[in-house]
Amino acid sequence: MIVALIDSGLGLLPTSAWLRRLRPDLDLVLSLDPDGAPWGPKPEPWVVDRVLGAVRRSLDRGAQVIVLPCNTASVTALPHVRELVGPEVPVIGTVPAIKPAAAACDSVAIWATAATTASRYQADLIEQFGNGAKVVGVPCHGLADSIDLGDRAAALAAIDSAVARTPDDVSGVVLGCTHYPLLADEIAARLPAGVTLFDSAEAVARQTLRRIDGLGAAGEGSGTVEVFVSGRPGALPPSAEAFDAGRLLGAIKA
């Protein structure tokens, strides 16, 4: 069973690590796009075209399941991906973990990119899943970009800025960009004691496995990992090593 994960950059690593942890036999195709990153500020047709290109290459490599562990890709391109691959290929998108956070906490902050924070998409999710909790959006300017560039100092400065703009009464923080869990320990250390972090990586991985099980014809794989960088066969960029990705990389390497 070959599962393809598509993101602009390193945000696919947390979901990949969960898949590797839960089903080490899966063969993974990781598709990153540093040449086109960040996707968030790009025009919608451009993002759709970029994602569909990655999907086509993944299908050529034998992918039987497509995962978009990226909020921008999910919001912008998910219907187009499903139309391209047809009903026989499961496609799993990513939604920020607002629902579990609002169910557990009275006051929640959603850390996300500036574009996502200002989007109708996030506002609709809050309205649908807010569960009466006080929910505030906190734009994390430059955090995802710093992670993809391997600029740890800039990433930590972006975290400090986001912490300063997070209300004191918040008891839960949703990591609303799939890059942010790569620095979950640093984020938790800078927030007040007792604040719980929520992210979607494990939930997306488990939903992927449910869809795989639903296919009913999935044999065991060899647990290989292929990496494509802006369409070219390659390796994870050196920037991955800057964010304690060793723990995650160790979990997903064959």
pLDDT band of 244, cuts 50, 70, 90: low
In this structure, what CATH number is given to the domain that contains residue 163? 3.40.50.1860
Position 243 pLDDT exceeds 80? no
Has this prediction a pTM greater than 0.85?
A: yes
101 domain residue, yes or no: yes
Position 221 pLDDT exceeds 70? yes
Distance CA 108, CA 91 (A): 29
For 66-87, b/e burial (b = at least 16 CB within 10 A) is bbbbbbbbbbbbbebbeebbee
What number is the average pLDDT over the span 33-53? 93
What number is the average pLDDT over the span 4-14? 95
| Pair 82, 119 in one domain | no
SS3 sequence of 12-42 = HHHHHHHHHHHCCCCEEEEEECCCCCCCCCC
Set 175, 177, 197, 248: catalytic member? 177
| Pair 15, 134 in one domain | no
* Three-state secondary structure call for residue 198: strand
Position 126 pLDDT exceeds 50? yes
Over the stretch 144-197, which tens digit does the pLDDT of each residue have?
999 999 899 999 999 999 999 999 999 999 999 999 999 999 999 999 999 999
Distance CA 134, CA 124 (A): 15
pLDDT at 36: 93
Contacts of residue 220, defined as CB under 8 A and 6 or more positions apart, other chains included, come to 1, 25
| Pair 70, 113 in one domain | no
Position 205 pLDDT exceeds 90? yes
Q: Give 244 or 10, the one with higher predicted confidence.
A: 10
pLDDT band of 247, cuts 50, 70, 90: low
| Pair 75, 147 in one domain | no
| Pair 178, 148 in one domain | yes
Position 218 pLDDT exceeds 70? no
Set 37, 54, 70, 149: catalytic member? 70
111 domain residue, yes or no: yes
Is-catalytic flag, 70? Answer: yes
Q: Which of 164, 182, 197 is the last residue before a domain boundary?
A: 197
pLDDT at 254: 44
| Pair 26, 88 in one domain | yes
What number is the average pLDDT over the span 57-67? 96
| Pair 84, 2 in one domain | yes
Q: Which of 182, 197, 212 is the last residue before a domain boundary?
A: 197
Q: What is the mean pLDDT of the chain?
A: 91
pLDDT at 239: 80
| Pair 204, 192 in one domain | no
| Pair 25, 79 in one domain | yes
Dig out the tokens for 131 from the structure: 């569960």
Distance CA 142, CA 126 (A): 23
Count of domains forming the chain: 2
What is the spatial order of strands in the sheet that 134-139 belongs to? 134-139, 107-112, 172-175, 196-198
pLDDT band of 8, cuts 50, 70, 90: very high
What number is the average pLDDT over the span 12-34? 94
| Pair 129, 187 in one domain | yes
pLDDT at 173: 98
| Pair 188, 70 in one domain | no
| Pair 162, 179 in one domain | yes
254 domain residue, yes or no: no
Position 80 pLDDT exceeds 50? yes
- In terms of residue numbers, what domain contains 136? 97-197
31 domain residue, yes or no: yes
Is-catalytic flag, 140? Answer: no
46 domain residue, yes or no: yes
Q: Which residues pair with 172 in a beta bridge?
A: 108, 196
